[in-house]
Structure 1
Amino acid sequence: MKFVIQKDKLAQSVQDVMKAVSSRTTIPILTGIKISANSEGVTLTGSDSDISIESFIPAEEKGKINVEVETAGSIVLQARFFSEIVKKLPKDTVEMEVQNHFSTIIRSGKAEFNLIGLDAEEYPHLPNVEEDHVFRIPADLLKTLIRQTGFAVSTSETRPILTGVNWRLENGELTCIATDSHRLALRKTSIDGANEGKYNVVIPGKSLSELSKILDDTNDLTEILFTDNQVLFKAKNILFFSRLLDGNYPDTSRLIPDESKTDVLVQAKEFLQSIDRASLLAKEGRNNVVKLSTMDGGMLEISSNSPEIGKVIEEVQTEEISGEELKISFSAKYMMDALKALDSSEIKVSFTGAMRPFLIRTPEDDSILQLILPVRTY
């Protein structure tokens, strides 16, 4: 194998596939990046057997030459060293050549590295995904769906199914739900041309987080394909595979209250900042609990009390409060995460009592909601 490639293209592809390479894998060859070259261009692959990412660098793009391949072939190189080398090469072009016994020379300017490679034939094959049912989402919308739900997945392995985001596609509507059993994030969107497919799968939160880092903020369509145990996201020159989580996702619809006793309409930024300030003193037992009380004149009192540190009280003017008086305690972190996920200047919080889950929504938009369970304080 021998080719000359533009350094910036190679560095970007290496950065993308590195997101799937783990140093803790039990399969030694997976600590490497597979590099394959043919007349069409160069393909890089990284995998940890849960996530696999393939990045393709076309030989020519928009009349610009990216790669000149002299001899086709493939090799696996140690990811950690290869990625650092590529970053620090001195010139804009890189020449790579595989010699006998998988010895690989990387040249750029006056610098020459010689890495010992591994046989690419030993590298596991990527899953085969049938292209029967494909649906498409603009990349920027996909990133938004991930940002608005992924943060609420569980980080504990006691219930592995909750470490993923539940994607349900039915009648052309995609619903994404994440919960760690203390909070829940839900976002719906309609998908053009997806009226036939019907899916109910759980995608690991970690996979979606890595996918989001690779996707461009454009409205280019990303293709999504499911099999029994894999999902494939196809974006421009990128294939991103992830395994799906086994098991049934809990029915979360009964968690969401359909009535409320107290409704508060408030400016999101002001509300977020006051909770942020209250949380400065709310470090009790990692829960960082903040209290909220409704007051006369459409005011909210946000407070926090930590016996060893001190206390803070702040009043926030709302747009409107309706319903019963309320005193409730909740995790400041959960509330701030939820508010950051809602892209809105105004938010509506609906309470159903001091010990019942409450909802945070944007007025006039039922495609997104956040639910938080209160904290019992004595």
Structure 2
Amino acid sequence: MQFSIQQNKLVDAVNDVMKAVSSRTTIPILTGIKISATHDGVTLTGSDSDISIESFIPAEEEGNQHVDIQRTGSIVLQAKFFSEIVKKLPKETVDIEVQDNFSTKIVSGSAEFNLIGLDPEEYPQLPQISDHHAFQMPIDLLKQMTRQTVFAVSTSETRPVLTGVNWRIEDRELICVATDSHRLAMRKAPIESGEISNITSVVIPGKSLNELNKILEDTNDLIDIVITDNQILFKTKYLLFFSRLLEGNYPDTSRLIPTDYKTEVIITAKDFLQAIDRASLLAKEGRNNVVKLTTFDNNSVQISTTLPEVGKVEEDVNCESLIGEELKISFSAKYMMDALKALDSTDIKISFTGAMRPFLIRPLDNDSILQLILPVRTY
């Protein structure tokens, strides 16, 4: 294998596939990046068994030549060294040549590296997924839906299925739900195109979705999404992102969401978030970072924290509307701030069903997203 390639294109592709390479893998060859050259261009692959990423650099695109292929072939190079080398090469063009015994020469300007490669035949094959059952959605919508839900997945491995985001498709609508059993985030969006008849419910690891979000650029181009029994594939023009799915039945979260409310507050999200943030300055010294909310007749709520050994903070925040029973409720400041940041809304509605019942936070003008938080018992 021998080719010349533009350094910036190579660096971008290496950065993408490195998100799937783990140094802790039990399969030695997966600590490497597979590089394959055909007459169409160069493909880089990284994998840790759970996530596999394939990035393609076309030989030519819109009249610009990115790669000059002299000899086709493939090699696996140690990711740790190869990724550092390509970022620091001195010239805009990189020459890569595989010689005897997988020895690989990397030349740029007057810099020349020789890396000992590995046999590409030993690199695991990526899953072969038929895209008969692909559906499409805009990339920026996918990124937004992920950002608004993935933070609520569980970080505990005691219930592995909760470390992922549940995707359900009902009536051509994608419903994304994440919960760690103390809070829940849900986001819905219509699916505009694609074949989705055989898909009901899957659970995608939160880690996979976070890595995908880092790679995808903000654009309203469509991304193809293909789901099988144990894999999901996200496919753009030059990128394939595979993730395994989590096994197990995701809990039925619909019954957690209350439908009747005793107290409803409409409030400006920014003012509320800043008050929670200030109360958290003391609250986070406590065990659970807990703040208390108290409603008042004069259309205001008080956010407060008292720590016997530190002090206390109280702040009144005006509401646009406050109806229903008086309420005192305590909750995690972190959970509330996470939820408010995910909503992306100027005004929010908070619906309470009592001091020890879950409560809902929603944008005032958008019913496609909601956040649910369980209160904390403080007595």
TM-score when scaled to structure 2? 0.98
In structure 2, the residue matched to 1:67 is: 67
Instruction: Specify whether residues 137 and 286 from structure 1 end up closer, same or farther in structure 2 by C-alpha distance, changes over 3 A only.
Output: farther
C-alpha distance in structure 1 between counterparts of 2:321 and 2:92, whole Å: 60
Pairwise mapping of residues 332-343 of structure 1 onto structure 2 (< 5 A)?
A: 332-343=333-344
Whether the 8 Å CA contact 1:304–1:312 is kept in 2: the answer is yes
- What one-letter code is carried by the residue in structure 2 that aligns with 1:22? S
Q: Which amino acid aligns with 1:9?
A: K
CA contact (8 A) 1:204 1:245 kept: yes
Task: Please report how far the alpha carbon of residue 196 of structure 1 lies from its aligned counterpart in structure 2 after TM superposition.
Answer: 3.0
Structure-2 residue corresponding to 1:86: 86
Deviation at 1:96, TM superposition (A): 0.3
Q: Which residue of 2 aligns with 1:201?
A: 202
Distance in structure 2 (CA, Å) of the matches to 1:32 and 1:198: 34
- The secondary structure found in structure 2 opposite 1:340 is helix
Unaligned runs of 5+ in 2: none
Cα distance in 1 between the residues matched to 2:215 and 2:198? 26
Q: Say whether the 8 Å CA contact 2:91–2:109 is kept in structure 1.
A: yes
Distance 1:197 1:57 in 2: 33
Alignment partner, residue 180 of structure 2 = 180
Distance in 2 (alpha carbons) for counterparts of 1:292 and 1:285: 17
Matched residue of 1:132: which SS?
A: helix
- 1:284 Cα shift? 4.6
Equivalent positions of 1:36-55 (< 5 A) are 36-55=36-55
- Within the alignment, does 1:168 sit opposite 2:186 as a pair? no
Kindly report which structure 2 residues correspond to 1:3-18, keeping only aligned pairs within 5 A, or say none: 3-18=3-18
Shift of 1:363: 1.3
Q: Which residue of 2 aligns with 1:356?
A: 357
Structure 1 counterpart SS, 2:12: helix
How far did 1:225 drift? 0.3
CA shift, 1:193, in A, is 2.7
1:308 deviates by 1.8
1:307: how far off? Answer: 1.8
Spell out the pairing of 1:89-238 with structure 2 (5 A cutoff): 89-194=89-194, 196-238=197-239
Amino acid at match of 2:211: E
Cα distance in 2 for partners of 1:169, 1:61 equals 36
- Is the 1:267–1:319 contact (alpha carbons within 8 Å) kept by the matching residues of 2? yes
> How far apart are 1:132 and its partner, in Å?
1.6
CA–CA distance in structure 1, aligned partners of residues 103 and 229 of structure 2: 39
Q: Which residue number in structure 1 is paired with residue 33 of structure 2?
A: 33
How far, CA to CA, are the matches of 2:285 and 2:89 in structure 1? Answer: 49
Contact 1:148–1:185 (CA under 8 A) maintained in structure 2: yes
- 1:240 is the counterpart of 2:214: no
Q: Which residue of 2 aligns with 1:260?
A: 261
Residue type at the aligned position of 1:370: Q
Instruction: Give, in whole Å, the separation in 2 of the partners of 1:111 and 1:364.
Output: 58
Shift of 1:197: 4.3
Deviation at 1:128, TM superposition (A): 1.1
CA deviation after TM superposition for structure 1 residue 283, in Å: 2.1
Q: Which residue of 2 aligns with 1:293?
A: 294
Choose 14-23 or 361-370, whichever is displaced more.
361-370
Contact 1:172 1:190 in 2 (8 A): yes
1:367 maps onto 2:357 in alignment: no
Equivalence for 1:318: 319
SS of match in other structure, 1:113 = strand
Give the distance between the partners of 2:167 and 2:158, measured in 1 at CA.
21
The answer to whether the 8 Å contact 1:293/1:301 transfers is yes
Kept in 1, the 8 Å contact 2:286–2:307? The answer is: no
Question: How far off is 1:306 after superposition?
Answer: 1.6
Counterpart secondary structure, 1:278: helix
Matched, 1:309 2:310: yes
| 1:274 partner amino acid | A
C-alpha contact 1:170 1:197 (8 A) present in aligned 2 = no
Q: Which amino acid aligns with 2:281?
A: L
Distance across 1 between alignment mates of 2:283 and 2:307: 6
**CA-CA distance at 1:286 after TM superposition:** 4.0
**Take 1:268 and 1:364, find their aligned partners in 2: how far apart are those partners?**
13
What RMSD over aligned residues (CA atoms) do the two structures have, in Å? 0.9
Helix, strand or coil: the match of 1:250? coil
- 1:283 and 1:306 in contact (8 A); partners too: no
TM-score by length of structure 1 reads 0.99
C-alpha offsets along residues 182-221 of structure 1, whole Å, 9 cap, x if unaligned?
A: 0000000000134634320000000000001111100110
Question: AA paired with 2:354?
Answer: G
Q: 1:154-191: CA deviations, max 9, x gaps?
A: 00000000000000012210000000000000000000
Q: Shift in Å at residue 254 of structure 1?
A: 0.5
What is the alpha-carbon distance in structure 2 between the residues aligned to residue 326 and residue 233 of structure 1?
46
Separation in 2, partners of 1:197, 1:346: 38
Aligned partner of 1:329 in structure 2 is 330
Contact map agreement 2:199 2:227 (CA 8 A) in 1: no
Residue 167 of structure 1 contacts residue 175 of structure 1 at CA under 8 Å; is this kept in 2?
yes
| Per-residue Cα deviation, 1:219-276 (whole angstroms, up to 9, x for no partner) | 1100000111000000120000000000100000010000110000000011001000
Work out the CA distance in 2 between the residues paired with 1:85 and 1:307: 55
- Code of the residue aligned with 1:25 in structure 2: it is T
Other structure's SS at 2:16 match: helix
**CA distance in 1: counterparts of 2:21 and 2:77, whole angstroms:** 12
- Does the CA-based 8 Å contact 2:136-2:192 persist in structure 1? yes
Identity over aligned pairs, percent = 71
